[in-house]
Amino acid sequence: MEKNWADLGSVDSLKSQPLQEIVVGKITIALSYYDGKFGAISGVCNHVGGPLGKGKLDGDYIVCPWHNWKFHRTTGFGEPGFEEDRVPQFELKIENDHLFINTNSITNRNKLPHPPHSLGRDVIREDGPIRVVGISTTIMDSKNPRYSTSDKLLEIAINHAKNELGAQTMFIRLNDLKFRACEGYYSKSAKACTWPCSITQMDETDQLVQVYEALVHWADVIIVATPIRWGAASSLYYKMIERFNCIQNQITLNNKSLIQNKIASFIITGGQDNVQDVAGHMLGFFAEVGFVFPPFPFIAHTRGWDAEDMENNIAYVEKSEGLKEGAKDLARRSIEMAKIILHEHVSEQKIVKAGRKAQPLKISED
Q: Residue 50 interacts with ligand FES (CB under 6 A)?
A: yes
Q: Residue 195 interacts with ligand FES (CB under 6 A)?
A: no
Binds ligand FES by CB under 6 A, chosen from 38, 66, 285, 286:
66
Stretch near ligand FES under the rule CB under 6 A, chosen from 62-70, 145-153, 246-254, 281-289: 62-70
Residue 150: beta bridge partners? none
Q: Residue 109 Cβ, how far from ligand FES at the closest point, in Å?
A: 13
Half-sphere exposure of 90 (CA within 13 A, CB side): 26
Residues 20-49, one symbol each (x = binds ligand FES by CB under 6 A, - = not), give: -------------------------x-xxx
The residue (of 88 and 297) whose beta carbon lies closer to ligand FES is 88
Q: Residue 70 interacts with ligand FES (CB under 6 A)?
A: no
Stretch near ligand FES under the rule CB under 6 A, chosen from 67-75, 214-222, 230-238, 281-289: 67-75
Residues 111, 85 contacting (CB under 8 angstroms): yes
Q: Is the peptide bond before 227 cis (omega within 30 degrees of 0)?
A: no
Binds ligand FES by CB under 6 A, chosen from 22, 29, 67, 88:
67
Which residues, 6+ apart, have CB-to-CB distance to 2 below 8 Å? Answer: 104
Stretch near ligand FES under the rule CB under 6 A, chosen from 61-69, 254-262, 278-286, 337-345: 61-69
Q: Residue 146 Cβ, how far from ligand FES at the closest point, in Å?
A: 42
Q: Residue 111 Cβ, how far from ligand FES at the closest point, in Å?
A: 12
Q: How many angstroms separate the CA atoms of 163 and 287, rounded?
A: 29
Residues 300, 326 contacting (CB under 8 angstroms): no
Q: Residue 49 Cβ, how far from ligand FES at the closest point, in Å?
A: 6
For 353-356, the CB contacts below 8 A with 24+ separation are 353/255, 354/251, 354/255, 354/257, 354/290, 355/248, 355/251, 355/287, 355/288, 355/289, 355/290, 356/288
Sites of contact with ligand FES (CB under 6 A): 45, 47-50, 64, 66-69
